[in-house]
Chains A and B, each alone.
Chain A
Amino acid sequence: MKVRLIDLYIAFFKIGGLTFGGGYAMLPMLQREVIDKHGWATIEEVLDIYAIGQCTPGIIAVNTATMIGYRKRGVLGAIVATLGEITPSVVIITLLASVLTQVKDSVWVARAFGGIRIAVCALIVQSIITLAKKSVVDLPSILLYIASTALTFFLGVSPIAIVVLAILCGLLVGWTKRRSST
């Protein structure tokens, strides 16, 4: 049976509107809507799609929505699922941003955000430690890590250039390794 576009939109609207933070946090909602409720994919397929979403450019949650939408209803399905996924964010953030713009001159709001920035800083430190434990594990990765931080922070190199350089470096190292092993 053909999947209806409105069902795709609603399912991803719910996933976008009910997960905090994206990434792994979206998996339970994704499972409930896509696997349990609609049977659009099996758990293996969803995990595959999620894995691809992680290593293609862009927001993981959006990549996942796009790919499931595409498999069910082609390009139009991909667009509809993506729009569903981003609608809650756009509505909620726009409302909040307009309220905050009106109260931003309040001394209490300014004080609160002074403290909030400090908390956010600490949360980012935590994220960096978690990520580094997984990815910065040997000499080459430590060198890449330091180079990427130093080039952007001290020399003002654009993050886009860093990403492109990293891809080229990875391809070159992989090619060299395979060449020397044959």
Chain B
Amino acid sequence: MIFLALFWEFFKIGLFSIGGGLATLPFLYKLAETHPQWLTAAQIADMVAISESTPGPLGINMATYAGYHAAGLFGGLVATVGEVTPSVIIILIARFLENFDKNQYVGDAFWALRPTVVGLITFAGLRLLSIVVWSAGSLNLPASIAFALFVVLVLRFKKVHPLVWIALGAGAGILFNLGG
């Protein structure tokens, strides 16, 4: 039953992704490995682009998109509800959460979690990069040059909204055929 499987997989993503936004990305890449019929690693990049260009929390947008991809309209709904269910369950122990962020053990766990989550996002970034700059076993030179250029520009003009970069990427892709 695909909807049950979708709910369960996204329930796990909701439960284990800590830190918001891109933190769900490594889990989606893992999902693409274990359930290639649902989504591919290349499609995840498109999902990030769509999710950054539309309103709503990044993690939710990506869950809806991935679920839609796997099983249509109802799939998107089930994946999204699956991802938010852990949050709702956790409030059932809400009294315990009053000073949760100041709890000593939470502090201990986060001491290790913070750098680890950055490492997980790096894993997702490397997966994405390897799809972008490698095609059919060899280096895609135009894409690699474009990537280097984009990194320099994005880091130089930090305040520019992600939407602008995505639009520029689309333009460059059409002009220079960067699809590979």
Interface residues of chain A, those whose CB is within 8 Å of chain B, are: 16-23, 26, 48, 51-52, 54-63, 66-67, 70, 75, 78-79, 82, 85-86, 88-90, 92-94, 96-98, 100, 108, 110-129, 131-132, 134-136, 140-142, 144-149, 152-153, 156, 158-160, 162-164, 166-167, 169-171, 173-175
The reply to whether B109 and A170 form a contact with Cβ atoms under 8 Å apart is yes
A-B contact pairs, 9 of them (CB 8 A): A58-B15, A63-B87, A66-B84, A75-B92, A112-B170, A114-B179, A124-B22, A152-B26, A153-B127
- A124: contacting residue among B104, B109, B124, B168, CB under 8 A: B124
Tell me the bound Cα distance from A166 to B108 in angstroms. Answer: 10
* A-facing residues in B100-133 (Cβ within 8 Å): 100-101, 104-129, 131-132
Given contacts A23-B20, A160-B12, whether A118 and B83 have CB atoms under 8 Å apart is: no
CB distance A62 to B87 under 8 Å? yes
Is there an interface contact between B115 and A171, defined as CB atoms closer than 8 Å?
A: no
- The distance from the CB of A15 to the nearest CB of chain B, in whole angstroms, is 10
Q: Report chain B residues within 8 Å CB of A132.
A: 118
Extra contacts, 7 of them, besides A20-B56, A92-B54, A122-B147 (Cβ < 8 A), are A20-B54, A56-B90, A56-B97, A89-B57, A94-B76, A153-B122, A166-B113
B94: min CB distance to chain A, Å:
6
Measured CB to CB, the nearest residue on chain B to A63 is: B87
Residues of B within 8 A of A146 (CB): 119
Return B40 CB to nearest CB of chain A, in Å.
Answer: 12
**Given that A115-B169, A175-B108 are known contacts, is A124 also in contact with B125, CB under 8 Å in the complex?**
yes
CA distance A166 to B143 in the complex (A): 35
Q: Contacting A96 at CB < 8 Å: which of B54, B73, B153, B178?
A: B54
Q: CB of B136 within 8 A of chain A?
A: no
Chain B CB within 10 Å, residue with most, of A66, A118, A152, A153 = A118
Q: Is A125 in contact with B151, judged by CB distance below 8 angstroms?
A: yes
A21 contacts across to B, CB distance below 8 A: 21, 52, 57-58, 162
Residues of B within 8 A of A19 (CB): 55-57
- Decide if B80 touches A89 in the complex (CB within 8 Å): yes
Of all chain A residues, the one with the shortest Cβ separation from B155 is A126
| Residues of A contacting B143 in the complex (Cβ-Cβ under 8 angstroms) | 114, 118
Closest residue of B by beta carbon distance from A108: B174
Q: Which residue of chain A lies nearest to B34 when distances are taken between CB atoms in the complex?
A: A158
Please determine whether A169 and B172 come into contact, CB atoms closer than 8 angstroms: no
List, in ascending order, chain A residues with CB within 8 A of B46's CB: 100, 113, 116-117
B70-84 contact mask (Cβ, 8 Å, vs A): 1 or 0: 000100110011011
Q: Which of B37-66 contact A (CB under 8 A)?
A: 42, 45-46, 48-61, 64-65
A48 to B118, CA, bound (A): 23
- Residues from chain B with a CB closer than 8 A to the CB of A113 are 45-46, 49, 170, 173, 179
